[in-house]
Amino acid sequence: MRCFLAISLPDPVLDRLEMLAARLPVGRVPPRENLHLTLVFLGDVAEMQARDLHLALSEITHPAVEISFAGLDLFGGAKPEILHAAVRPEPGIVHLHDKVQQAARRSGLELKRTRFRPHVTLARFNRAPSGEAADRLADFLQANALADIPGFLAESFSLYRSELGHGPARHSELACYELGIA
C-alpha cells in the first residue's frame, strides 16, 4: 500500500488555504480533505513493514510542534510543478521529520534522500504554465506570496494510505500518534 506520514491541518488553516486555492487561475487543486503537511513520503509499504513501522512510530516521544507559514511559493523553478504554502522550517518540525524518518528506516523502509522542505501542496501543474496561464499565475503569486495563513500547534501526526485512481487520490488515516511528550 502507498503510504505517507503527515500532520493534519485544523479548520482555520484549511479554510484559509481553500480560500486561496479558489482564486488560483491555473492548476489542479486537491480537495480539502487531501490538504496536509507531509513529514515523510514512504511509498509502497508491505503489511509486515506497516506493522513494524507502527511499533516504531508508537515509541516516538516528541513535544507538540508549533507550525507557522511563510506564504506561497512554487516548486520546480522555471517550470513550476507545484504551488505550495511554505512552512517555516523551525527546529521542532525538522526534528520531528528526522525522528519519523529514522523510525521508517529502522522498520526496513528505503526512503529517497531528499531535503525536507515542509509545505502544504495547494495545486499541481501537469505541465508548466506558459503564455497567458503563466502570466495569471505570476499575478496570483505577486498578490498572494505573503498570504497570511494562521499558524497552529501540531499535537499529533498520522500514518496515511493513499489510493490512486480516477480523480484525486483518496487518503485514509491508518494510525494517529500523539505529540506532547519530550
- Residue 41: pLDDT band with limits 50, 70, 90: very high
Under 8 Å between Cβ of 82 and 124: yes
Instruction: Output the pLDDT for position 97.
Output: 97
Q: Which of 62, 84, 119, 171 is catalytic?
A: 119
Domain span including residue 146 = 2-178
- Identify whether 119 is a catalytic site residue: yes
Sign of the Cα torsion 68, 72, 74, 78 reads negative
Q: Check if 54 is active-site.
A: no
Selecting among 36, 62, 84, 171, the annotated active-site residue is: 36
pTM of the predicted protein model: 0.91
**pLDDT of res. 182:** 59
Domain count, the chain: 1
| CATH number of the structural domain spanning residue 17 | 3.90.1140.10
